[in-house]
Amino acid sequence: MSGNDNRLITYKDAAAEALFLAMEKDEKVFLMGEGVDNITGVYGQVLPAYRKFGSSRVIDTPLCENGLTGFAIGAALDGMRPVLIHQLNDFMLLTMYQMMNQAAVLRYASGGRHRISLTILSFVARRPGEGVQHSHSLQSVFAHFPGIKVGMPASAVDAKGMLLSAIFDDGPVIILEHRHPTLFDKKEYVSEKYYETPFESKRVVEGEDITIVTVSIALIDAIAAQKELNTENIYPEIIDLRWLRPLDINPVIQSVKKTNCLLVVDTGWKMYGISSEIIAQVCEQAYNYLKCPPRRITLPDAPCPASQFLEPYYHPTAEMIVETVNEMIK
């Protein structure tokens, strides 16, 4: 992107701008969460809004995730548009009853009379020392439940647009941002104007030899792998899912019909994960187009190690993608 209205800003600053614009656009939008008024401003994302709107609309809360979620649901039922912030998505496990047995079902249970315009913004950590209780990537858990949307932006442009789409949606939406510096601090040209990202997958790179479907930060690894594969005359097509629910599977199906090969790279675990769902739907809809079994690159079936020496072997990498693609098509 280029032009007078575009600036080179980081992923985290693009998300901060989304929060600011949403609060400026609609006085019913407010932010709440543990430590949102801290000097760090939730990794810098809340600071612009806090400086402009103050503690009446950026509300620091007690340490009670389940109760906070119930409070936010009540505010949404009363016509507000709360943005509830959890500094790690691991903590959201404490909120599952409120999220999945209240927020996700109330519109259905009321025959559409109740609007639950609730956005839950949280973060996936990936750095040495976070430990087993602060390093999960739980998108497949949340996306399992109907009635709630789940998005994982993989670019600064989408960090802004997807968050704005979530805030002004009439149902509950979870946005999971990945906090690793290769994505969180990555700069891109982002429009300063208000815009929303549609609930669709996005073809990021056009190719013909294999379809690589990515979730969240895996897109960065896939693009790095694509550059290496191009030197070997292998040209992958890369699709960033962006939204896990609703799942826009059609671009994936059409791509597989062209490339005849599928690799899914996910930041979660393999068992019962997003990669399983993608491969299942492709096999149901395009099985006869596949010339080799689909493959997955995910986390190993174990908790994340806290050791800085072990953690690099735990997460998907560009090298893993290059190796797997070569195994599949050569």
Q: Which tops the pLDDT comparison, 83 or 38?
A: 83
Quick one: 48 and 171 in the same domain?
yes
In Å, how far are 53, 63, 76, 174, 187 from 58, measured between CA atoms? 7, 16, 16, 19, 26
Give the type of residue at 315. H
pLDDT reported for residue 128: 57
Q: What total of structural domains would you count in the chain?
A: 2
Structure tokens given for 203: 């073809």
Helix (H, G, I), strand (E, B) or coil at 203: strand
pLDDT at residue 129 is higher than 90? no
Judgement on whether residues 47 and 154 belong to the same structural domain of the protein: yes
Q: Are residues 311 and 254 in the same domain?
A: yes
For residues 155 and 179, membership in a common domain is answered with yes
State the pLDDT at residue 4.
Answer: 56
Furthest-apart CA pair in the chain: how many Å? 60
Mean pLDDT, residues 88-92 taken together: 87
**pLDDT digits 0-9 by tens, 140-170:** 999 999 999 999 999 999 999 999 999 999 9
CATH assignment of the domain containing 233: 3.40.50.920
Taking residues 262-274, what's their average pLDDT? 95
Indicate the pTM of the whole model.
0.94
Q: Which residues contact 85 (CB under 8 A, 6 or more apart)?
A: 31, 32, 33, 34, 36, 42, 46, 120, 121, 122
Determine the Cα–Cα distance for residues 315 and 307; give it in Å rounded to an integer: 13
Query: Do 294 and 232 share a structural domain?
Result: yes
Distance CA 205, CA 240 (A): 9
Cite the DSSP H helix spans in the chain. Answer: 11-25, 47-53, 65-77, 96-98, 106-109, 139-143, 156-167, 181-184, 218-230, 250-259, 274-286, 318-329
Q: Do 233 and 146 share a structural domain?
A: no
Give a yes or no: residue 187 inside a domain. Answer: yes
> Residue 311 class from Cβ within 10 Å (0-12 exposed, 13-18 middle, 19+ buried)?
middle
Q: How many CA atoms lie within 13 A of 1 on its CB side?
A: 17
Q: How confident is the model at residue 2 (pLDDT cuts 50, 70, 90)?
A: very low
Which whole-number Å values give the CA distances from 20 to 160, 236, 318, in the listed order? 10, 37, 35
Domain boundary residue among 162, 191, 220?
Answer: 191
For 321, the domain range is 202-329
5 vs 290, higher pLDDT: 290
Does residue 272 surpass a pLDDT of 60?
yes
What would the pLDDT profile of 209-253 be if each residue is shown by its tens digit? 999 999 999 999 999 999 999 999 999 999 999 999 999 999 999
The whole-number pLDDT of residue 89 equals: 83
pLDDT at 38 (0 to 100) = 81
Domain boundary among 191, 213, 248: 191
My answer on whether 145 and 226 are in the same domain is: no
Residue 41 lies in a domain: yes
Percent of the chain beyond pLDDT 70? 97
Give the active site residues: 65, 134
For residue 301, being part of any structural domain is answered with yes
What's the mean per-residue pLDDT of the chain?
A: 92
- Residue ranges of the alpha helices (H) in 189-308? 218-230, 250-259, 274-286
